[in-house]
A and B are shown apart, each in its own frame.
Chain A
Amino acid sequence: MADNGLLESVLQHVEKVDDGVDSQAVAISLGLDHQTVVGAVKSLQALGDVILAEQRTSKHWELTGEGADIAERGSHEARVFGAIPKDGLLQTELMKLPSGRVGFSKAMSSKWIRMDKGHEGGPRVFRMVETIEDVVRQKLLLVRQGKSAELEEKDKNELKKRKLLTEVTVKSYWITKGGSFSTSITKQETELTAEMISSGSWRDKKFKLYNFDALGMALDCGHLHPLMKVRTQFRQIFLEMGFTEMPTNNFIESSFWNFDSLFQPQQHPARDQHDTFFLSDPALAHEFPQDYLEKVKKVHTEGGYGSQGYKYDWKLEEARKNVLRTHTTAVSARMLYRLAQQEEFTPVKYFSIDRVFRNETLDATHLAEFHQIEGVVADYGLTLGDLMGVLHQFFTKLGLKKWVEVGNSGIFRPEMLLPMGLPEGVTVIAWGLSLERPTMIKYGINNIRELVGHKVNLQMVYDSPLCRLDS
């Protein structure tokens, strides 16, 4: 901030003129560097409507270093001329002078000097005229005095070519009086205070203007994780659609509920060590609904309920093996079994969003654990058209058009439902997708490790926007 004295002297300059003044002229008249005056102009602008300043660019000519030297001490040719005594000078001596080479040829072409090549003792240079007029120096002196306008254009270009002059562009301000012009500066307040309000002194004060181009202060606040924000929205969508949340807080499942109850045969590749995490402790589940287990065994081994079955040797040992659940459908199976134990069947709509685990090869889009979203509807007489309709409604709420790519859907097989004891004629439709995949699509994240796990950059969490799936 320029001091008030400077500001006021600038203002006094402005006061004297009616239609304004250039900041360069102010600088010359105050004997100050132009940049100092520009600083003062900016400070004055910040005070409000004291002055108006319009930026202008102007070009003018300035001497180069060499040009200034010539203006001071004469042109090279004049210096050569001056160095030659009455009886001449050996050319070799002349060439040793600082201005020798350049000055010699210029003085020769101006016919100020001549050379006697055949002189005894070597070529010798003599004056040809008594006096000379150093025009170059005179022109440069004009420029130095700020009178470059008096020079002809071709002279200026000639001097520019000789690197004695240069044209510079200057940004200056055209300063005129503002609406609240005054030659004195009142002290500006930075902030409104309680004292000013109670005393009413704010009425007489001037307040420093805010810089609205700057950002505000970064707040010290907490943040929710973006994937969990998306989870909240999915829960919301299911709740809006009348779905009840399933208790999925059991990561450990028996193979029985994770696979067998879903009519997945025991040799299925998903039950391979390479795909599923098995437990060493507790390795085996020890309790099953015995009646139901027998029915499951039977439908796998020999069929029933209209099914051929898989016709293989179903083993309880396989079913007892504990796993980290590979899908939340294991919980859906438990819920449907529980539903089947009711006195009377009631239609249900269930959903869940929770972690599932796969012992698979990890890459940019696959982790050993992820969140599965699942929706289930059980009622009499549901159709494939109902499944497609419900999916359409669900994905419309998500704002996702290409939903086929992110999920799976289907109708549960009778071999799964009937052994549970659900009535014939009850159809169960279901669909599932991962929570991570649509989130990555939504936020343009290519590597799942940038979204989930302890390695994520907290800045990403701090910066993540609201989650409104449908907008």
Chain B
Amino acid sequence: MPTVSVRKDLLFQALGREYTDDEFDELCFEFGLELDEITSEKEIISREQGEVKSEGASDIILYKIDVPANRYDLLCLEGLVRGLQVFKERALTPRYRRVCPSGNPHRLIITEETVAVRPHAVAAVLRNIAFTQERYDSFIELQEKLHQNVCRKRALVAIGTHDLDTISGVFTYTAKPPGDILFKPLNQTKEYTAIKLMSLYKSDSHLRHYLHIIEDKPVFPVIYDSNGIVLSMPPIINGDHSKITLNTKNVFIECTGTDLTKAKTVLDIIVTMFSEYCKEPFTVEEVEVVYPDGKTLIYPELAYRTETITADFINKAVGINESAESVAQMLTRMCLRSEVMGDHIQVEIPPTRSDVIHACDIMEDAAIAYGFNNIIHTTPHTYTVSNQLPLNKLTELLRHDLAASGFTEALTFALCSQEDIADKLGKNITDIEAVHIANPKTAEFQVARTTLLPGLLKTVGANKKMPLPLKLFEISDVVLKDESKDVGARNNRRLCAIFYNKTPGFEVIHGLLDRIMQLLEVKPGQGEGYRIQSASDATYFPGRCAEIFVRDKSIGRLGVLHPDVISRFEITMPCSALDIDIEHFL
């Protein structure tokens, strides 16, 4: 959930009234937001870097507001204020208009070289905009917020904004080998080739996170103006030449990316938010985008869509009983202008609300406007009889009886290292049907366990100071590769127990097996009963391991652990263990 940080003074100035912190918190809650924190730059620096560093930092109060992940229209002060004013019926939601300039619109030509790296581009112009320091800061901050959220750290979309009066159309979006791209990047004093830039930015704390998006591509995306000036090399950096300043009057905005839908959304958000400061508010000048196949499209789309719903649908989904007029009014307060047309309600979805993709999203907005706290709690009429999962029922019953047998339940991790399930148990990882993790951050998460034994031995290792004997058990799942399953693996419910003492206590663990069999109503003996039979297993001490057969099927092993296994788990006493598959008893 993104957090938007806004200055309290600017916020209240724009809202045209003051709120106490509690009142504003309440307002946020009503609107489906959360006032996360009240702080200041000084406080943040002081907390993160120490009090000394915070000296001289601003102590203007900031509100940090949590915004739902897909509400891109609330990521800046302008959007928040607009949303709240409409919600409180102090303003009407504006109508955003795309306008054609008196002369020809600007053109952005996409060449086919871009297909190999970043095929989409859209653009628009904000004409006669009036920046102040605060508006400018908000404009930059919104781009950063969009880059981090909907743009997926610039991988899907990257935004470039330029002072239109420093460049001249027609603009060309192309892709070139990095050695052929030469320009002075933003805030640098000399020209670099793209190759040099990439190594320069390797140590840049901010930009280094974006290099991977293009670094192994044969060609890099680049936008030129008609004089060969570089506007930007997306998604890394803009050119210094066209950078916007407080004095910029006309802004050229381009969004390039790998996802056209998202690029259009991002462009719509920027222009709808900041066209407020244009001489003719809420108008955006169009740009023609020419595709390699000659097709021409006009951007920004600023598309309005109409959904037709009924009050009955809203009432039934939310559990309320409101008239069509009331529903329409609630939706209008959520920036979804609605009108009652006979039996229906026509709901207009503005270009700012790309999150509304289905009538159920409209229903959610209606619920917010109605107030979640005003909805009466009801009990579903659904009558059902419950059932336990037989495997879990068996597990629950066995757990209690194992504890009653004097064993203590451990709870260990399902993920572990290859070493835990192989080397340490005297086995070779290639012989084990384990599921391997592709992207573990540490060795602790290399594989899913194939046996519960390592977890129990590690539990002993962490509890060497406890009085002996230690009698531990766990009943839980291990994961085994299994080609017959759709995903190629399955869980297996195991019961593992160990006895750790000055003497191995095989008779104790054997006694536990007898008790478990008694509980499961299996009698000792051949055929229908259970028996144990000498087996050889590298985990166990030679001659001290037996395989357990139930109705002539092998269900696991028991025995005295091999001294090397004991040592590898960094414990010191003899230990006997029992490890069985309980799915045979379902």
Contact = CB atoms under 8 A, between A and B. Distances in A.
Contacts of A273: 439
Contact of A461 (B400, B405, B408): B408
Interface string B442-461: 00110010000001101101
A388 to B, nearest CB: 5
B389 A385 contact: no
Nearest to A221: B406
B471 interface: yes
Contact of A285 (B386, B477, B487): B487
Interface stretch (A1-9, A13-21, A173-181, A347-355): A347-355
Contacts of B316: 381, 383
Nearest to A231: B396
Given A273-B439, A453-B413, A386 B490 contact: no
Contacts of B396: 232, 235
Given A249-B391, A277-B437, A311-B261, A458 B486 contact: no
A384 B375 contact: yes
A267 B445 CA distance: 24
A413 B367 contact: no
Interface residues of A, number: 89
Interface in A70-117: none
Contacts of B317: 383-384, 411, 427
B54 interface: no
Contact of A220 (B319, B381, B406, B441): B406
A283 B438 contact: yes
Interface stretch (B13-21, B327-335, B352-360): B352-360
Interface in A225-246: 225, 227-228, 232, 235, 238-239, 241-246
A251 B477 contact: yes
Given A277-B445, A288-B486, A458-B408, A243 B384 contact: yes
A222 B441 contact: no
Contact of B438 (A252, A280, A429): A280
Nearest to B437: A277
A347 to B, nearest CB: 5
Contact of A355 (B318, B408, B414): B414
A225 B261 contact: no
A238 B319 contact: no
Nearest to A455: B462
Interface in A370-395: 377, 379, 381-386, 388-390, 392-393
Nearest to B486: A287
Contacts of B489: 251-252, 279, 282, 322
Interface stretch (A25-33, A54-62, A141-149, A302-310): A302-310
Given A251-B414, A282-B481, A458-B470, A386 B436 contact: no
Contacts of B360: 411, 413-414
A348 B410 CA distance: 34
B349 to A, nearest CB: 9
Interface string B384-425: 111111011000100110111111111111110000000000
Interface string A209-227: 0000000000011111101
Given A285-B487, A384-B317, A379 B380 contact: yes
B195 interface: no
B437 A382 contact: no
B493 A249 contact: yes
B67 to A, nearest CB: 15
Contacts of A443: none
Nearest to A219: B406
A65 interface: no
Contacts of A309: 357
Contacts of A310: 261, 357
Nearest to B400: A224
B402 A347 contact: no
A280 B481 CA distance: 12
A305 to B, nearest CB: 8
Contact of B399 (A224, A245, A246, A383): A224
A413 B358 contact: yes
21 contacts: A222-B409, A224-B399, A228-B399, A244-B387, A244-B388, A249-B491, A250-B491, A252-B448, A252-B487, A267-B152, A277-B415, A284-B488, A324-B437, A383-B317, A385-B320, A385-B377, A389-B379, A411-B317, A454-B458, A455-B462, A458-B470
Given A267-B259, A307-B358, 18 more contacts: A222-B405, A223-B409, A225-B408, A228-B411, A242-B383, A243-B384, A243-B386, A249-B391, A249-B491, A277-B415, A281-B481, A282-B481, A305-B358, A308-B305, A310-B357, A369-B415, A385-B378, A414-B358
State the 3 A-B residue pairs at the shortest beta-carbon distance, nearest first: A385-B319, A383-B319, A282-B488
Interface of B: 152, 155-156, 259-262, 305, 316-320, 357-360, 367, 372, 375-389, 391-392, 396, 399-400, 402-415, 435-441, 444-445, 448, 455-456, 458-459, 461-463, 466, 470-472, 477, 479, 481, 485-491, 493
Interface of A: 220-225, 227-228, 232, 235, 238-239, 241-247, 249-254, 267, 269, 273, 277-288, 303, 305-312, 322, 324, 347-349, 355, 357, 359, 367-369, 377, 379, 381-386, 388-390, 392-393, 411, 413-415, 427, 429, 452-459, 461-462
